Amino acid sequence: MLEVFIFATLNGLVTGLLLFMLASGLTLIFSMMGVLNFAHASFYMLGAYFAYSISLYMGFWMGLIFAPLIVGVLGALVERYGLRRVHKSGHVAELVFTFGLAFLIEESVQFFWGPTTKNYQYPDILDFPLFTLFGQEFSAYRGFMIAISMGIFIGLYRVLTHSRIGIIIQAAITHPHTVSNLGHNVPQIFMGVFGVGTALAALAGVIAGPVLTTFPGMAVVLGSIVFVIVVIGGLGSLAGAFIASLLIGLLQSYAIASDVGMPDLLNLLGLSFERSHPLNDLWTVTLPQIAPILPYLLLVLVLIFRPTGLLGKREE
C-alpha cells in the first residue's frame, strides 16, 4: 500500500510540475492581455516536434536549448502580427483566433511531420534508475523532469518579484497606461511575455515528448487540462496555478493508482444490483475509470461555488 502511495505521489508530482510549466505561461499571458490562449498547448506540441527534429541531427541537448527559442520567436510573431491585429475586434475574436490557431498548428504539424507517432527518445545518459524503492525503479529522466520544472518555477518567481523587468511586467499588468507614460514600450512587453510564455510551453514539450509520446494529438490531450488548471488556480495567479497543477497531477495519479469503485461502496452500504440493471455501468464504475473526468468535475464545481478560482482576485 505504501509503495503504491509513494509512487503515485512521485508520478503525480512529475505530471503536476509538467502541467505547471504550461499553466505558468498561460496564466501570465492571461493576466497581461486578458485572453486565454487556446493555442498554448499547441506551442507545447511544436516544442516537442522541433526538439525531435533537432535531436536527429544534433542530439537531445541542442533540442532542449533551441526548440524553446524557435517556438518563443514564433509565439512573439503570432502576437505581433496576429493577436494584436485581432485585438481591435474584441475579446471573443481573440479567443476565436487562438482557437483557430490551435486548429491550424495541429494541421501544420501533420503537414510537416506526418500523422504518425515520432520516435523521440531521451538521451542515454539519463537512461538509468535514479533509485529503487520497494523493488520499483524511478527513472533518472523523471528526476530530471522534476529538476527542470522546479528550476523554472523558482527562476520565474525570482524574475517576476525581484528583477527590474519583473517589476515592470507586474506594473504593466495592472497599470498599462502609467507604465507607458513612464516611457516603457508596453506592446513590446506584451510581445515579450507572449514569447517567453510560449517558449516555456515548448520547453515542457521538449522534456515531455519522450515520455508522453510525440504525436499530432498531444496538444489536445493536455490542452483542456491546462485550461482547467489555470481556471481552478484563479485566472492570472501564478501561485494558484502552481497549487492547482500539483492538485490535478496528484488527484489523477492517485485515482489511477487506487483500485476502489462503486462496487466497493455498494458492498460497504450492503446494497447490490443485478447485472442486467439498466444503470449497470453506473454501479460498476471504478475510480481509475473516471480519473480522466475528475479535473473537469473539479472545474465545474469550482466555477459554480468560487468563480474566482482558488487564489484569483478578479472574476472577468
Partner 1 sequence: MGLVKKLAVWIGYLVALLALPLFFDSILAISIFNQMAIAIVFALSYNMLLGQGGMLSFGHAVYFGLGGFLAVHTLILIESETVYFSIILIPIIGGVIGLLMGVFIGSFSTRKAGTVFAMISLGIGELIAASSLIFYSFFGGEAGISGDRTFGPMFFGIDFARDVQIYYVAAVWVFIATVFMYLFTQTPAGRMANAVRDNPERAEFIGYSARKVRFISFCASGLFAGIAGGLFALNYEFITEENLNAATSGRVLLMAYIGGLGYFIGPIIGAVVLTLMNSLLSNYSQLWMLYLGIMFLLTVMFLPRGFAGFIMMHELAWVRGKLRNLALPYLITSIPTVFFVLACVAMIEMSHADEEVFHYLGMELNPAAVMTWLITAVIAAASLFAIRKSLPQLREAWDSANAIADDEEG
Kindly list the residues in this chain that would bind partner 1 in the complex (CB under 8 A). Answer: 36, 82, 85-86, 88-89, 91-93, 95-97, 99-101, 103-104, 107-108, 110-111, 220, 224, 227-228, 231, 235, 278, 280-282, 285, 289-290, 292-293, 296-297, 299-300, 303-304, 307, 315-316
The three cell numbers of residue 270 are: 450492503
The minimum distance between CB 149 and partner 1, in angstroms, equals 24
Comparing C-alpha atoms, which of 82, 105, 39 is closest to residue 191? 82
Asked whether the beta carbons of 17 and 241 are under 8 A apart, the reply is no
For residues 190 and 93, what is the distance between their CA atoms, to the nearest angstrom? 18
Rounded Cα gap, residues 159 and 67, in angstroms: 22
Name the nearest CA neighbour of 78 among 231, 185, 202: 202
Q: Residue 64 or 101: which CB sits closer to partner 1?
A: 101
Pick the closer one to partner 1 by CB: 128 or 296: 296
Q: Which residues of 101-127 are buried (b: 16+ CB within 10 A; e: fewer)?
A: bbeebbeebeeebeeeebebebeeebe
Cβ-count burial of 263 within 10 angstroms (0-12 exposed, 13-18 middle, 19+ buried)?
middle
3-state SS, 222-234, equals HHHHHHHHHHHHC
E strand spans, 39-139: 129-133, 136-139
Q: Which is nearer to partner 1, 127 or 281 (CB)?
A: 281
Which residue, 13 or 228, has its beta carbon nearer to partner 1? 228
Q: Least separation, in Å, of the C-beta of 182 and partner 1?
A: 29
CA pair distance 125, 102, nearest whole angstrom = 34
